[in-house]
Amino acid sequence: MNLLAEHHLQGTSAAFYIPNFISEDEEQYLLRKIEDSPKQKWKTLHNRGEVLQKNILLREDLPAFLNDFPDVLGRLRFLGTFDQSPHKGPNHVILNEYHPGQGIMPHEDGPSYHPVVATISLGSHAIFHYYRYNKDKDSLSVGPESVGRSIDPAPLLSLFLEPRSVVITTGELYTTHLHGIDDVYADTFTGNGFLLLPNGSHSRIVNRHMIQDETVVGIIESGGTVKRTTRYSLTCRDVEKVASGRVAGVIKRT
């Protein structure tokens, strides 16, 4: 992971943030390809009774636009991100769509993936939170990891994901923590890197010194609001066993 060293997020065991992983031209191209993707492959997910996001599992025959131009998957392999993974590179990509006001509740990605995930943002920023479980007696109980365990509502880490960036999560942030995105229309900052959370508390943006967009840096440091627009994310993983079946089935969330 040497190439990743300069992108390491301080204070984390194993998270990396790379701004401008995708160029602006490449982003425009990918957004066009995504908008052209067959609508019947999209699955709408419901959470808390509301529609939170739509997603599609791009499995097996990964679309050429992820290998040809721009060679997103090759770039991830080159970073060394997936050197320890069974196929030495991602073989599984989920495309998520978030309109303003949509997010994804704190969750774990689970053990069916090698514990490395690379998430590319296109079109809009988002704030990505990592959470931990409360250390209560339940955490000592045997049984499926997340059953009955309460989550500490204060994010352990909060990252500002710029459009065209990639965030890479490995290690215990992957295996024992959760991640999520608040379902808000805009993100409000109160200065000195602090984000105002929906519950009124604050969380500091850990990657604020790595952010490239000067306007955003100004808002994060001095206070203000950044509106969300439609965001697409490409979540790239190595699945140890790819399920057989038809190309590009839809993912089922647990």
Ligand X SMILES: O=C(O)CCC(=O)C(=O)O
Which residues contact Fe ion by CB under 5 A?
Answer: 109
Q: How many residues bind ligand X (CB under 6 A)?
A: 9
Three-class SS state of 38: coil
- Contact 53/102 with Cβ under 8 angstroms? yes
Work out how close the CB of 251 gets to ligand X at its nearest, in angstroms, rounded to a whole number. 8
Three-class SS state of 174: helix
Work out how close the CB of 94 gets to ligand X at its nearest, in angstroms, rounded to a whole number. 5
Q: How far apart are CA 219 and CA 225, in angstroms?
A: 7
Does residue 96 bind ligand X (CB under 6 A)? Answer: yes
Instruction: CB nearer to Fe ion: give 169 or 207.
Output: 169
Chosen residue from 119, 124, 158, 207 binding ligand X by CB under 6 A? 119
Of residues 52 through 71, those in contact with ligand X by CB under 6 A are none
Does residue 158 bind ligand X (CB under 6 A)? Answer: no
Work out how close the CB of 45 gets to Fe ion at its nearest, in angstroms, rounded to a whole number. 12
Work out how close the CB of 92 gets to ligand X at its nearest, in angstroms, rounded to a whole number. 11
- Contact 95/56 with Cβ under 8 angstroms? yes
Three-class SS state of 187: strand
Please write down the HEC assignment for all residues of 41-106: HCEEEEECCEEEEEEEEEECCCCHHHCCCCCHHHHHHHCCCCCCCCCCCCCEEEEEEECCCCCEEE
Does residue 235 bind ligand X (CB under 6 A)? Answer: yes
Residues in the chain: 254
Chosen residue from 114, 164, 177, 179 binding ligand X by CB under 6 A? 179
Report the run of H or E that residue 196 belongs to, with start and end.
strand 194-196
Chosen residue from 94, 173, 211, 220 binding ligand X by CB under 6 A? 94
Work out how close the CB of 119 gets to ligand X at its nearest, in angstroms, rounded to a whole number. 5
Work out how close the CB of 231 gets to ligand X at its nearest, in angstroms, rounded to a whole number. 7
Cβ-proximal residue to Fe ion, closest one: 109
Does residue 104 bind ligand X (CB under 6 A)? Answer: yes
Instruction: CB nearer to ligand X: give 50 or 135.
Output: 50
The residue ranges of DSSP E strands in 116-177, in sequence order, are 116-122, 126-131, 157-161, 166-170
Rg of the chain on CA atoms, in Å? 18
Instruction: CB nearer to ligand X: give 79 or 93.
Output: 93
Chain residues binding ligand X by CB under 6 A are 94, 96, 104, 109, 119, 128, 179, 233, 235
